[in-house]
Amino acid sequence: MSLELNLIEIAEPELLFGYGQSMEHPKDGLLLYGPKESPQARSKLRIGVVSTKEGLRRYSACVARLAKPIAPALADNPNQTLFPGFQALFGVEWPAQPATWLEIDAAELANAIRISDRHQAIHKAVSLYSDAIADHLRDGSESTIDLWMAVVPEDVHKYCRPQSKVEASQKQRSGVLMDKAAATRLLKAPGLFEEDNASAEIYLYELDFHNQLKARLLEHKAAVQVVRETTLAPDEFVRDNGMPGRGLQDPATLAWNLATTCFFKAGGKPWQLATSRPGVCYVGIVFKKDSSSAEPGNACCGAQMFLDSGEGVVFRGAVGPWLTSTKDDFHLPKEKAKSLMAMVVDAYRKNHGGQAPKELFIHGKTRFSAEEWEGFKETVPPETNVVCVRIRQDSGMKLYRHGTMNIARGVGWVKSQWMAYLWTKGFVPRLQTYAGREVPNPLSIEICRGVADIKQVMADVLALTKLNYNACIFGDGVPVTLRFADAVGEILTAAPRKNELPPLPFRYYI
């Protein structure tokens, strides 16, 4: 029995840059035409830095380097491109001296991260940064900050992650007489003393400095970029054998990625999709087990909405027992699905003069249940075509070709009108290589609810792999609707919430 492969080739999506010009590669477009939109055009980025004195020195030195051209490590490698300098690239100055500097006491930070109780240690370390920013914002300072740079010493990265441990010789005692067992009892049955109840809440925060800091600053609408000092000054961190203290990308690539994400988080738009489909909205559904909930087994549901313009908004949905009997398989009841999609449609209407989307594609990693589908359909107006698409990376399907190169990016196998495989990783002519070490795996794409052209769905998914503003790369392997699902979910659940979060731009989460 022979297997018939209905292979198609989807053209590489182009991106739109300054002056209405389009290119395939973000670096080519930015070099030739500049960004699509720059709110601070012909002006300066207003950056706030939160760091120790040493962190500020390293930050300023790094920004000064980014103002000048940085050559790639391999001049003849098409995967590496000269970085021309931040202002030459984006048309806006990034001053080496920040608009605002909030000093972190180095000794106090060093002691905090070494507290033996990890919940207390990480919460206190995050508080040094988050409280400084929150207090600055509450003071009503006249200087508006586009982006906060939280510069952290390498020891923060070492000791403030979920599995981090402090050496016995360096452990510090805590001034708070509380442990996880006592906190659990108080969370279930609060005591008479508010100080004890407040101390117990610390144990609802995630044991991750990066996620907890971003989560605690969401209510202040403060965009923050957490950056390690080793990223800013890699030459200052060398091992005893003379090797770099940390493996990093080559200087030019590192500059491209850091500059692009900071420009985006500061409110700029580096690029958008050139092949516009008016009235189309893409939504990625996010589920994450919620450790910030006092009820065990709860999960938080959220949604990421993206438009072809590249604009993204994150919605925090309800927290509840959404985990089904299948491991890590989450589903919403009808009413919760209805309310979550209502937020999405309302936000779309506000940005499009009251008009509802013509097509709404909902992306997820699992098939959507009948209850979820009914909830989505009841919320969305009848003129909107709703389609649920399951997208998963599939390591069980391999395609090989004759010759020395892998299968090309953009090749697809249409298995049926509802099911297809799409290779979003593979050989790229512009780069003259495949940026991977193994035979590329495809995405399995399945229309599990609603009706749509499977080839159009595949083309949309390929286009959405080019909206990752966290790096300046040719294309990602996963569409942006799902690329950051886990990261967004972690930030949504990294801190307990007393008040509901309003829909916030995507840049606050990545």
pLDDT digits over 287-322, tens only?
A: 776 655 555 556 677 789 998 777 898 887 655 554
Question: Which whole number is the average pLDDT over 373-390?
Answer: 93
CB 9 within 8 A of CB 250: no
Q: Which amino acid is at 350?
A: K
SS3 12: coil
| Closest of 298, 264, 281 to residue 343, by C-alpha | 281
Q: Which residue has the tokens 């927290």?
A: 319
Dist. CA 270–CA 38, nearest whole Å: 8
Q: What's residue 500's pLDDT?
A: 77
Most confident of 2-11, 202-211, 393-402: 202-211
The CB-side HSE value for 89 (13 A sphere, CA atoms) comes to 30
- Positions of E strands within 256-298: 272-273, 280-289
Question: Which whole number is the average pLDDT over 9-37?
Answer: 95
Dist. CA 145–CA 48, nearest whole Å: 6
CA 72, 90, 215, 299 dihedral sign is: negative
Q: What's residue 319's pLDDT?
A: 59
Dist. CA 194–CA 215, nearest whole Å: 23
Non-local (6+) Cβ contacts of 333 within 8 A are 371, 375
Work out the burial of residue 83: count CB atoms within 10 Å of its CB; fewer than 13 is exposed, 13-18 middle, 19 or more buried. Answer: buried
Helix ranges, 291-354 (H): 334-351
| Helices 251-265 and 26-33, axial angle in degrees (round to 10) | 70
pLDDT, averaged across the chain: 87
pLDDT at 1 over 80: no
- Comparing 110 with 311, the larger pLDDT belongs to 110
Instruction: For Cα atoms 385, 286, 26, give the angle at the middle one, nearest 5 degrees.
Output: 80
Instruction: For Cα atoms 352, 357, 361, give the angle at the middle one, nearest 5 degrees.
Output: 135
Q: What's residue 238's pLDDT?
A: 83
Q: Which residue has the tokens 């009892």?
A: 185
pLDDT digits over 28-74, tens only?
A: 999 999 999 987 666 899 999 999 999 999 999 999 999 999 998 88
Work out the burial of residue 201: count CB atoms within 10 Å of its CB; fewer than 13 is exposed, 13-18 middle, 19 or more buried. Answer: middle
Enter the DSSP assignment of 20: G
Lookup: tokens for 36: 């699509």
Question: Which whole number is the average pLDDT over 383-398?
Answer: 90
The pLDDT > 70 percentage for the chain reads 89
Q: Which of 199-203, 271-275, 391-395, 479-483 is least confident?
A: 199-203
pLDDT digits over 237-252, tens only?
A: 888 787 777 877 889 9
| Closest of 435, 424, 425, 427 to residue 463, by C-alpha | 424
CB 26 within 8 A of CB 74: no
* Confidence at 278, pLDDT banded by 50, 70, 90: confident
SS3 310: coil
Work out the burial of residue 347: count CB atoms within 10 Å of its CB; fewer than 13 is exposed, 13-18 middle, 19 or more buried. Answer: middle
Question: Which whole number is the average pLDDT over 137-152?
Answer: 86
CB 256 within 8 A of CB 469: no
